[in-house]
Amino acid sequence: MKTAQIGIYGLGTMGRALALNLAEHGIVTAVANRETDWIDPFVEGASHLGENLLPAYDLESFVKRLDTPRTVLFMIPSGPPLDVMLDHVLPLLDAGDMVVDAGNADFNETVRRSARVQALGIDYVGMGVSGGARGARHGPSMMVGGDDHSWTRLAPVLCPIAARFEGDPCVAHMGPDGAGHFVKTVHNGIEYADMQMIAEIYGLLRDGGGWDAPAIGQLFRAWSGGPLASFLVDVTAIALAAMDEETHQPLVDVILDKAGQKGTGRWSVIEALKLGQSASTIEGAVGARAWSAALDVRRTAADVLPGTSVVGGLPGAHVLERALLAGRILSHAQGFDILRAASQEHAWDLDLARIAEIWRAGCILRSDLLSDIAKSLAADPPQGQLVLAPGMVALLDQSVPALRQVVGAAVQTGLPVPALSAALAWYDSLRQARGNANLIQAQRDVFGSHGFERIDKTGRFNGEWG
């Protein structure tokens, strides 16, 4: 019986695409799914690639179709579904086999699952995959967590199917147990912030400038050839250009303004806070999605709360473009700061420059800016801070004035820009050699005798507050 180098369980959007990518690279892949009716049509629809796909209709036969030591890759929702699948599959595996969770998972859960599986002598890999269905099919960016020997075993399967940036495969070993899923989580956090800032610019043009969707789409199309060149700007141009066949309106105009979220943005913020870090741009984006979902409250508030007065005009398109660039740099900097802090906390030794490098192709975050970020991180920026890298300082110098102008105009006009304004507030906080936290310390000492440090001598002091 023909056997497979790897097995994919979960033939949804991502699993199907990843299986076809593997098959196309000559990697014989066993495929299985909870709902077995999907399996045959999938393999038959794969035409000649079907030769490298071995269908299995239950877990026992799926596992039997794998070369030993076996590699079982799950592409299903994280959380209880994965735990239940582990309950079923682990008794069928032997020591030396490997389980890969390629879905988006909370890294804390990955650490827990890793301990459970490894106690059986079975390797566990938590792997982030970015690029959506198209990326998974034609070359995703992959962030692998797990032991060194798991990476050594997986690399020959993953390198051929990964996206390539100037020939370099966009896949790398991040570190042990939860490191891969942590990096993917922060990747998604930056993705949330970038999408939100783009949406804020769209909102300003629509509600402050009276632009229609196709015109805004054309602007984003033009921006995709400049410093904002990126997958997400391209996606935005595509989304804004599409027409609804039923109403003949721009499709975005008939889509409810209520954004979904599956958890990775929220996890980024939670982990950042646990690490004592600020992920304010990501938090702005997560919060904006949450407020968007409170549709009834917003509709009531729109009638009840005193309104928006339009003062002044909207800055020009070039200013908006620069403002978005500044916001993008600052949200990436916050994301890399979370990664730096997590690397220290968990002793992962994350290679931040390599992370930026493997995000340059295949993944949702791919952009021209990431090449500059990768170079800046490789050159060891002052105090590890991306914003202090000379290349980034120069870009911020050119773009922050525009961010200030845009945030100012939005505030005056009463249009919300939670992520852009958070980016600016963070930038201005960083610039303050002497900030205002001296008063916070004084307040803490007045009510709680928490003590403070002084600028003129070392030690810890309490005030005589009266």
Ligand X SMILES: O=C(CO)[C@H](O)[C@H](O)COP(=O)(O)O
Q: By CB under 6 A, name the binding residues for ligand NDP.
A: 10-15, 33-35, 38, 75-78, 81, 85, 103-104, 129, 132, 262
Pick left, alpha or beta for residue 39 (phi over 0 → left; psi -120 to 50 → alpha; otherwise beta). Answer: alpha
Nearest Cα residue to 204 out of 419, 366, 423, 426: 419
Q: Which is nearer to ligand NDP, 104 or 196 (CB)?
A: 104
Residue 3 touches which member of ligand NDP, ligand X, none, C-beta under 5-8 Å by kind? none
Residue nearest to ligand X (CB): 262
Cβ neighbours of residue 331 under 8 Å, at least 6 residues apart?
190, 193, 194, 197, 281, 282, 419, 423
Q: Which is nearer to ligand NDP, 11 or 374 (CB)?
A: 11
Cis check: omega of the bond before 69, within 30 degrees of 0: yes
Smallest gap from residue 279 Cβ to ligand NDP (A): 20
CB nearer to ligand X: pick between 130 and 334: 130
DSSP 8-class letter at 206: I
At residue 105, the 3 state secondary structure works out as coil
User: Residue 191 CB, nearest distance to ligand X (Å)?
Assistant: 6
Q: How far is the CB of 24 from ligand NDP (least distance, A)?
A: 18
CA distances from 206 to 122, 211, 239 (A): 54, 5, 15
Q: Largest Cα–Cα distance in the chain?
A: 86
User: 101 burial class (0-12, 13-18, 19+ CB within 10 angstroms)?
Assistant: buried
Catalytic residue among 109, 191, 271, 321: 191
Q: How far is the CB of 187 from ligand NDP (least distance, A)?
A: 10
Question: Would you report the helix, strand and coil content of the chain in percent, each value rounded to 5?
Answer: 60, 10, 30
Strand order in the sheet with 123-130: 53-55, 29-32, 6-9, 71-74, 98-101, 123-130, 141-145, 171-175
Binding-site partner at residue 401 among ligand NDP, ligand X, none, CB < 5 to 8 Å by type: none
Catalytic residue among 24, 35, 64, 184: 184
Binding site for ligand X (CB under 6 A): 104, 130, 132, 188, 191, 261-262, 264-265, 364
Smallest separation, CB 312 to ligand X (Å): 34
Q: State the binding partner of 214 from ligand NDP, ligand X, none, CB within 5 to 8 A by kind.
A: none
Distance CA 265, CA 445 (A): 35
Q: Is 191 a catalytic residue?
A: yes
User: Based on CB atoms, which residue is closest to ligand NDP, 15 or 146?
Assistant: 15
End-to-end CA distance of the chain: 86
How far is Cα 31 from Cα 70, in angstroms, rounded to an integer? 14
Judged by beta carbon distances under 5 to 8 A according to partner kind, the member of ligand X, ligand NDP, none in contact with residue 77 is: ligand NDP
Nearer to ligand X, 97 or 283 (CB): 283
C-beta of 65 vs 266, nearer to ligand X: 266
Q: Which residues are CB-contacts of 101 (< 8 A; sequence separation ≥ 6)? A: 74, 78, 82, 110, 113, 124, 125, 126, 127, 181
The encoded tokens of residue 148 equal 């060194």
Beta strands 6-9 and 29-32 are parallel
Least separation, in Å, of the C-beta of 57 and ligand NDP? Answer: 12
Interaction partner, residue 261 (ligand X, ligand NDP, none; CB < 5-8 Å by kind):
ligand X
The binder of 81, among ligand NDP, ligand X, none, by C-beta within 5 to 8 A per type, is ligand NDP
User: What is the closest distance, in whole angstroms, from the C-beta atom of residue 44 to ligand NDP in the complex?
Assistant: 17
Residue 75 contact among ligand NDP, ligand X, none, beta carbon within 5 to 8 Å by kind = ligand NDP
CB of 6 to ligand NDP, least distance (A): 16
Structure tokens at 378: 């490789």
| Contact partner, 236, from ligand X, ligand NDP, none, Cβ < 5-8 Å per class | none
| Tally of CA atoms within 13 A in the half-sphere of 115 that contains its CB | 5
Nearer to ligand NDP, 134 or 299 (CB): 134
Separation CA 81–CA 75 (nearest Å): 11
Tokens 């106690």 belong to residue? 119
Q: Dihedral of the CA atoms 54, 59, 64, 65 (nearest 10)?
A: 10
Residue among 262 and 318 whose Cβ is closer to ligand NDP: 262
Q: Which is nearer to ligand NDP, 258 or 262 (CB)?
A: 262
Integer CA distances (angstroms), 74 to 61, 103, 407, in order:
16, 7, 43
Active site residue 262: no
Q: Which does 191 bind (CB under 5 to 8 A by kind): ligand X, ligand NDP, none?
A: ligand X
Rounded least distance, CB 365 to ligand X, Å = 8
Q: Which residues are catalytic?
A: 184, 191
